[in-house]
Amino acid sequence: MTLNDSYSVGCKLFEILRQVRSTHHGDLEEYLILYSLVLADTYDKQVRPIADGASSRRQGLNLLSVSEITGIPRETVRRKMVRLIAAGSVARSDGLYRYVGDDGSDDITTRIFQDLPSFRAA
Identify the helix (H) or strand (E) that includes residue 91.
strand 90-93
- The C-alpha atoms of residue 97 and residue 107 are separated, in whole angstroms, by 22
Global pTM? 0.70
Residue-range domains of the chain with CATH: 3-119 (1.10.10)
Selected residue with higher pLDDT from 7 and 79: 79
Give per-residue pLDDT as tens, 44-96: 777 655 555 555 556 899 999 999 999 999 999 999 999 999 988 899 999 99
Contacts of 63 (CB under 8 A, 6+ apart): 74, 77, 78, 81, 97
